[in-house]
Amino acid sequence: MSNLNKDILHSIFEELQDDGNSLYNLLSVDIVWSETIIPILWRNPWKYFNDKKNETISREEKRFLL
């Protein structure tokens, strides 16, 4: 695969900003992809926090996380 400019990768990943699952999966492709995706994920980390997946977390743990 040819190397893509980091700016191009950033533009592509910005289009996926609402698809947290895809972004998390793409983190492991290589270090450049990871370095480009991490700031997008950290911009709003609670956006990707799904309460349905965490129904087994106690109230105390939820308070700690929030």
Count of C-beta atoms within a 10 Å radius of residue 39: 10
pTM of the predicted structure, to 2 decimals: 0.66
What is the pLDDT, as a whole number, of residue 44? 83
Tell me the pLDDT band of 58, cut-offs 50, 70 and 90: confident
CA 57 – CA 1 distance, rounded (Å):
42
Reported as a single tens digit per residue, the pLDDT across 7-45 is 999 999 999 998 888 999 999 999 999 999 999 999 987
CA 38 to chain centre: 6
* Whole-number Cα distances in Å, 5 to 21, 22, 25, 40, 50: 23, 20, 20, 17, 32
